[in-house]
Structure 1
Amino acid sequence: MVDFTYYPNPAKSELNIKSKSEINSITVYSIDGKRLYNNNSKVSEIKIDMSAYASGTYIFKLQFENQSATFKVTK
């Protein structure tokens, strides 16, 4: 299991993601499956700007070296 945190949830304008392991990619999807954001920079900490997203639920997929994690964030 990968040790990471994300906050705040619900998010208003920005979502913070912090991980003890390097994140290889971050992808954000709308609830209907449309890809809205993709970042392939290798980071352990990032802020995602959500100010342009409409209110609703978004699915975040983090890809690590040997595993992935998915979580939902409400705006």
Structure 2
Amino acid sequence: SDLAMNEPNVKWFLSAADAAKLMNELSPNTPLTDATTYYGVLVTPNNCGSLVPTAVKVTINLSNAELDLTQLKYYPNPVDSELNISYIEEIKKVEVFTITGQRVFGNDYQGNEVKVDLSRLSAGTYLVKIETAKASQFVKIVKK
């Protein structure tokens, strides 16, 4: 995971002592560790600045966020054979489940617009899981 920073002049350290002395700066590519406290110091171009470190405790949330439903389009519903899905981010995977949770279909995709062949499915109600790199969402469809 990455810390999103709007201030480019912050240097990061693993200890308050290192931060106060500007020693052992962490590489920008250092992977973050859950439940670890990092210390940031705002440094000006001539390496002076506030040497009072700011502590930031990292908590990594592994839950998958939901898609923005205002940007998700899926049609037709009810569907005869082909379901069209579009989203503002690249769609990575689509899975289809029965209403009781049994997985009946899944495929990987690469694109903001995908066509899913549902012609093999029996008529009924299904849950479709749409996944991007950042989030996922279940939607209910009816197969004619």
Calculate the TM-score normalised by the size of structure 1.
0.87
Residue 73 of structure 1 aligns with an amino acid whose one-letter code is: I
Q: Which has the higher helix share?
A: 2
2:83 alignment counterpart: 15
1:63 alignment counterpart: 131
| Residues 20-65 of structure 1 deviation map (CA, whole Å, 9 limit, x = unaligned) | 1111211111112111111223321111111111110010111122
Sequence identity (%) = 37
Gaps in structure 1 of 5+ consecutive residues: none
Alignment partner of 1:50 is 2:121 = no
Residue 35 of structure 1 aligns with an amino acid whose one-letter code is: R
> How far apart, in 2, do the equivalents of 1:34 and 1:28 lie?
8
> How far apart, in 1, do the equivalents of 2:82 and 2:92 lie?
20
Gaps in structure 2 of 5+ consecutive residues: 1-67
Q: 1:29 aligns with which of 88, 92, 97?
A: 97
Q: Which has the higher strand share?
A: 1
Q: CA RMSD in A?
A: 1.3
2:74 alignment counterpart: 6
Displaced runs of 4 or more, over 4 A: none
2:142 alignment counterpart: 74
Which structure has the higher relative contact order (CA within 8 Å, separation 6+)?
A: 1
Calculate the TM-score normalised by the size of structure 2.
0.48
